[in-house]
Amino acid sequence: MPETVRLNELPEWAALAKHRAELGGTHLRELFGADPGRASQLTVRVGDLYLDYSKHLVTGETLALLRDLAAARGVAELRDAMFRGEKINVTERRAVLHTALRAPRDAVIEVDGENVVPAVHAVLDKMAQFANSVRTGAWTGATGKRIRTVVNIGIGGSDLGPAMAYEALRPYTARALDFRFVSNVDGADLHEAVRDLDQAETLFIVASKTFTTIETITNATSARTWLVDGLGGDESAVAKHFVALSTNAKEVADFGIDTQNMFEFWDWVGGRYSYDSAIGLSLMVAIGPDRFREMLDGFHLVDEHFRNAPPEANAPMLLGLLGVWYGAFFDSQSHAVLPYSHYLSKFTAYLQQLDMESNGKYIDRQGEPVRWQTGPVVWGTPGTNGQHAYYQLLHQGTKMIPADLIGFAQPVAELPPRLAAQHDLLMANLFAQGQALAFGKTADEVRAEGVPEEQVPHRTFLGNHPTTTILANELSPSVLGQLVALYEHKVFVQGAIWDIDSFDQWGVELGKVLAKRVEPALTEGADVSGLDPSTANLVASYRELRGR
């Protein structure tokens, strides 16, 4: 995107700043009072998702000015360039084509003049064949026993996506199979995952885009030792118990996994955008290829919406712009994602990588420091649990924290009637929280309840806390795909406006390099002179405690 004028020098930015000053402390109570149609007008439907953004601190004018900003920043042009397969990841000179992973078989999407869709579907077909063979028991371990447990070893995007989606879609999974996800280089993670398993019935899926990530390779090496030792030292067993998901065939072969047992993806798939690629193999084994396809179709539906819907009805565009509005003009630093679904217990953790690794940057695409807020701190856990922990701060704290409340009309089908009946209570809490956050409770309302005067300030709720409510009928594979694509494209919109490369992650590199340097210093007698005084002191304390 040729960009000469910086974001905060644009007239559209100045117009928003002026508008913000005019809006002052306008309360959501006033905005709703002034416009009875607001509740139905400030909503948008995309596929099975219904989004209510009426409880945001915006007027029609705000939204128009934000759309002007998006137009001035060329968001639609950058989006189209992404869908066309142009190398919009400028610092790594790569195309950004996770959207190709869910394209239908007959689509044509070119990277460097080559249509990538046939390769995407060839891998999906190979995954489907493998997933079915594990699900039916046709694929057996080295001793001929069928596989009972699948252990995915990966970290970051090679863990969070499949782990999140497996949890989300548990009711759709083959319950006879057990799935575990190992990510942490802390040996306790692998230990707890395998301690009660039979090697003969265990399949390891080693998921790593680069196949050089130290945590994953360390855990995979330990898992291989555990497997081979448990099978009487038979190295040839590895072929029946290890498969790899990677872009790097050479490293996979060097590790000792036959590349026949490798499921490929490509450098134009970012790690945090990869669970709908081969990285989703554990999920596909869990839910089966048909359900996996339904999920991909859900992603694709939102891709098409993002590509074609006009800005005023474009859900990712709207969500992205609202986040820009609060970061820039309300000094909001964080964003809460609060799913009212136990099955979405890992959803916010997944979004943390998606959003914070994409947009946690202070250097713009031109190499200059930005002069505006970029990505927020994303956090949250499922309701209602959070209500009894940190919602106090949302309601009466000093920070502006926009939140997404996500819920479903239907409890999952397999719940027995008594537990399904609890669903209304769950959803009543979601609706009540949106209401309380927006409208609060005035001092007069508190007084009218006969509350002693000295308690009135403590029991008053200012309200005016913005939320988006996202509703769908049920948490199906398709709806999960739609939700994830919604957030992917929201992150895209924000990165485009902030003029940052949302698709690199240089900020994770320094820690990796330093850890490699520090590790040798932890052993007895090692030289610590290259370390800074604080770290050298900590290392010395550690060594003393370890008796080294």
**Count of residues engaged in binding ligand F6P, rule: CB under 6 A:** 14
Residue 209 lies near ligand F6P (rule: CB under 6 A): yes
Stretch that binds ligand F6P, among 205-213, 251-259, 285-293, 298-306 (CB under 6 A): 205-213
Residue 282 lies near ligand F6P (rule: CB under 6 A): no
Q: Which is nearer to ligand F6P, 211 or 226 (CB)?
A: 211
Give the H/E segment covering residue 262: strand 262-264
Q: Phi, psi at residue 404, to the nearest 5°?
A: -105, 130
Least gap, CB of 379 to ligand F6P (angstroms): 19
Residue 380 lies near ligand F6P (rule: CB under 6 A): no
Kindly name the residue from 18, 191, 250, 512 that is annotated as catalytic: 512
- Quick one: CA dihedral 99, 100, 101, 103, positive or negative? positive
Residue 375 lies near ligand F6P (rule: CB under 6 A): no
The rounded distance, in Å, linking the Cα atoms of 527 and 520 is 8
Q: Which is nearer to ligand F6P, 301 or 356 (CB)?
A: 356
- Quick one: CA dihedral 314, 316, 320, 325, positive or negative? positive
Least gap, CB of 381 to ligand F6P (angstroms): 22
Residue 346 lies near ligand F6P (rule: CB under 6 A): no
DSSP state of 358: H
User: From the list 85, 156, 386, 481, which residue makes contact with ligand F6P (rule: CB under 6 A)?
Assistant: 156
Least gap, CB of 259 to ligand F6P (angstroms): 17
Kindly name the residue from 357, 361, 488, 489 that is annotated as catalytic: 357
Q: How many CB atoms lie within 10 A of CB 363?
A: 16
Q: What SS3 string covers 396-444?
A: HCCCCCCEEEEEECCCCCCCCHHHHCCHHHHHHHHHHHHHHHHHCECHH
User: Residues 504 to 523: which contact ligand F6P by CB under 6 A?
Assistant: 505, 508
Residue 155 lies near ligand F6P (rule: CB under 6 A): yes
List the Cα angle 417/420/424 in 5-degree steps.
130
User: From the list 26, 115, 133, 210, which residue makes contact with ligand F6P (rule: CB under 6 A)?
Assistant: 210
The rounded distance, in Å, linking the Cα atoms of 63 and 12 is 12
The rounded distance, in Å, linking the Cα atoms of 66 and 494 is 12
The site map against ligand F6P for 446-475 (x = CB under 6 A) is ------------------------------
The region, left, alpha or beta by phi > 0 then psi within -120 to 50, assigned to residue 156 is left
- In the chain, how long is the greatest CA-to-CA distance? 78
Burial 225-263 (b: 16+ CB within 10 A, else e): ebbbebbeeeeebbebbbbbbbbbeebbeebebeeebbb
The rounded distance, in Å, linking the Cα atoms of 44 and 251 is 46
Stretch that binds ligand F6P, among 70-78, 210-218, 388-396, 487-495 (CB under 6 A): 210-218
The site map against ligand F6P for 254-273 (x = CB under 6 A) is -----------------xx-
Least gap, CB of 280 to ligand F6P (angstroms): 13
Nearest residue to 215 via CA among 512, 518, 443, 527: 512
Residue 386 lies near ligand F6P (rule: CB under 6 A): no
* Catalytic-residue membership of 361: no
Residue 208 lies near ligand F6P (rule: CB under 6 A): yes
Check: CB of residue 121 under 8 Å from CB of residue 237: no
Q: How many CB atoms lie within 10 A of CB 2?
A: 5
Q: Which is nearer to ligand F6P, 42 or 207 (CB)?
A: 207
End-to-end CA distance of the chain: 55
**Distances in whole angstroms, Cα of residue 505 to Cα of each of 93, 258, 373, 501:** 13, 30, 18, 9
User: From the list 62, 173, 216, 282, which residue makes contact with ligand F6P (rule: CB under 6 A)?
Assistant: 216
Stretch that binds ligand F6P, among 67-75, 203-211, 457-465, 525-533 (CB under 6 A): 203-211
Residue 158 lies near ligand F6P (rule: CB under 6 A): yes
Residue 213 lies near ligand F6P (rule: CB under 6 A): yes
Give the H/E segment covering residue 289: helix 289-308
Kindly name the residue from 388, 449, 509, 544 that is annotated as catalytic: 388
Residue 89 lies near ligand F6P (rule: CB under 6 A): no
* Catalytic-residue membership of 235: no
Stretch that binds ligand F6P, among 141-149, 165-173, 207-215, 225-233 (CB under 6 A): 207-215
* Catalytic-residue membership of 121: no
Least gap, CB of 157 to ligand F6P (angstroms): 3
Least gap, CB of 156 to ligand F6P (angstroms): 3
The rounded distance, in Å, linking the Cα atoms of 502 and 500 is 6
Q: Which is nearer to ligand F6P, 509 or 544 (CB)?
A: 509
User: Residues 390 to 429: which contact ligand F6P by CB under 6 A?
Assistant: none
Active-site residue set: 357, 388, 512
Judged by the rule CB under 6 A, the positions of this chain that interact with ligand F6P are 155-158, 208-210, 213, 216, 271-272, 357, 505, 508
